[in-house]
Every structure is written in structure tokens, then in C-alpha cells.
Amino acid sequence: MSIDDDVALLERVPTLRLLGESSLRMLAIGSEQRNFDQGDLLFSVGDDADAGYVVQRGAFRVEEGGAEIVVGPGALIGELALIVAMKRPSSAIALERASVIRVARSLFQRVLESDPAAARRLRDELALRTSQLASDILMAGAKLST
């Protein structure tokens, strides 16, 4: 895929779209593509999480604590790893031949440092999500109490 193709794919990811085209171009140039065969592990529970992955083609099953989802092209796997050092809370396995764009946390942080406006947009989006999640938890708690 070309850099322009990678930028177009990154623009499909809601979280990354917030960064803007110039920051996405930097991510596309600095990221690497990885290919997987059916059954290959993208990562396992407990692995050090130092990157997020945008699915280019194919599908992955992401399993966490007995729950699983299937994600395909345009999905960002491991979003939180772009921001903080952590251990993987889930495993991801290729369900078919697949490829991803690997975005290293170090690259993501350099992009945010070089574009403060993009960093603010991302911060605001994450704050909104956190607020919404807290509200949802409170509402669920209230329903359980009645």
C-alpha cells in the first residue's frame, strides 16, 4: 500500500481521525506493516503493550476474559497502548490472512508532541468518553439498586 492509502485507512479510525491529515501522514510514514497467516497471534494477554494496530485487511478475534469480538479493516486494536505503558489485557489472533499497520507508542507520542492542537483534540475526546463511561456506570448502578 502507498502512504496515501495508509493515510486514508488511518482516517477511517475515529480516534486517529482527530489528529488531522498532516499528523496521520507522519504516522503512516513512521509505522510498519505486518502480515499474518490464519491462526497467527497478533499479541497475547500479558504481553507488553507498546503499540496499537490498525487492521488493513483480514480479520482478528480479540479475546478478553471470556468475551470476544471480531474486528476487520479500519479497526484499531490496542488503542490504550498508544497512550500508556501497560500489559495486554486481551489476546488477538488472525482469523484469516491479514495485515495491520503497527503504530508504536513512541511514534504516536512524538506526533502528539509535534502537533499540540491534535493532542488537545485527542485529550478532549478521551475526556468525553471517560465522562460518558462514568455516566453509564452510574446509570447501570442505579438500575441495579432499584
Share of the chain above pLDDT 70, in %: 99
- Read off the CATH number of the domain in which 8 is found: 2.60.120.10
pLDDT for residue 112 is more than 90: yes
The whole domain housing 12 covers 3-145
The mean pLDDT value of the chain amounts to 93
Q: What is the mean predicted confidence (pLDDT) over 13-36?
A: 94
What is the total count of domains within the chain? 1
Q: Is the pLDDT of residue 13 over 80?
A: yes
DSSP per-residue letters across the chain:
--HHHHHHHHHTSHHHHTT-HHHHHHHHHH-EEEEE-TT-EEE-TTSEE-EEEEEEES-EEEEETTEEEEE-TTPEESGGGGTS-EE-SSEEEESSSEEEEEEEHHHHHHHHHH-HHHHHHHHHHHHHHHHHHHHHHHHHHHHHH-
Of the pLDDT bands very low, low, confident and very high (cuts 50, 70, 90), residue 66 is: confident
pLDDT of residue 135: 79
